[in-house]
Structure 1
């Protein structure tokens, strides 16, 4: 359960980068890049480090996203987990524990970074101070929450050739997470059934 929550709440250190542009231009550029993808499907590779740089966990899996607010993250065995949201509820299934946790989706972008990739992009500039830097065909955006009530200190989104490349975050205790997106496909048809979840027979259910 901790692993998949890191997809929503987690962290990877952001190296200092000079000469970021003004916030308004950065927000507009990021909004355009995010808005052009109504659906995203990809493989992902996730690396989690503690504050000293020691590796805590490395996993991989498959994700499917669809605006507004629909997502499905499936982490491969041997630490298999499935996270599904229909835009209102979130189901977290751990097949090893035979346990399903059900939550109401927290739609605050500062609490659910995954919604940056699948949610309403119109709220981005209200929630974050944004800067960006370009180098060749790579654009890096740094997002820092404006609210103190947040679960991460900073987040970086990187695009290569206009396509999402990776997400990097850092939290208040220095724990860091990097999610690299591979074989990214945008705007392909996605069945909404991908974002519904049927509780397996015999599974324990936890409502939060």
Structure 2
């Protein structure tokens, strides 16, 4: 679906010998614990997409706001401005350049978008992913591999520094990589409900899926 494809665009090796092998034991529990720390989250993000050869495809930046369960706002800056908003029931994808908004029911399957992984029901994580992790100092990396065949990515790495989300990397079936770095992360601050709703501007084309 169009929304799923676009989510991937909204959307490292440490020193050899210093990092233990990825461990399965307790990975899901540790990731759940870290994600549950944030009932709300706001941050800046920068996103870089590379093809299978390492050639840069696209670079964007923007703002993200999340609130559990299932509410998120992902705003990409100009010149490639897009706005992705969910109130936990519906998802709006607004493209100002095209003067078009796509509306669909939120798919709660966490395999479909990283935004849902960060804002959704963390109890579903182990049901949808094989999870492993490794530590190096105050950094912990998790690698998630979808159990189902309908995911938009083959592998997702989430990295936390001192217990706070730092970056994520998605790799799809053709080797394309999407790297997302978070900055100015704030957790558990009050967020206005209006952040997670969208009023369709006058004159904008509406597509319902």
Deviations 1:124-181 (A, max 9, x none): 0111111100001000000011112322101000000000001111011111101100
Aligned to 1:164: 165
CA–CA distance in structure 1, aligned partners of residues 162 and 193 of structure 2: 28
Contact 2:154 2:173 in 1 (8 A): yes
Aligned to 1:69: 70
Aligned to 1:22: 24
Deviations 1:63-114 (A, max 9, x none): 1000000000111111111110011111011111111111111111111221
Post-superposition shift, 1:5?
Answer: 2.2
Alignment length (residue pairs): 203
CA–CA distance in structure 2, aligned partners of residues 181 and 49 of structure 1: 18
Aligned to 2:111: 110
Which structure exhibits the higher relative contact order, with contacts defined as CA atoms closer than 8 Å and separated by 6 or more residues? 1
CA–CA distance in structure 2, aligned partners of residues 51 and 44 of structure 1: 22
CA–CA distance in structure 2, aligned partners of residues 184 and 201 of structure 1: 34
TM-score (norm 2): 0.92
Contact 2:9 2:49 in 1 (8 A): no
Report runs of 4+ in structure 1 exceeding 2 Å deviation: 1-5, 14-18
RMSD over equivalenced CA pairs, Å: 1.8
Contact 2:158 2:168 in 1 (8 A): yes
SS in 2 for 1:194: helix
Alpha-carbon distance change, 51 to 152 in structure 1, aligned in 2, over 3 angstroms: same
**Which structure 2 segments of 5+ residues have no match?**
none
Aligned to 2:134: 133
**Which structure 1 segments of 5+ residues have no match?**
none
CA–CA distance in structure 1, aligned partners of residues 148 and 6 of structure 2: 24
TM-score (norm 1): 0.92
CA–CA distance in structure 1, aligned partners of residues 107 and 95 of structure 2: 20
Post-superposition shift, 1:201?
Answer: 0.3
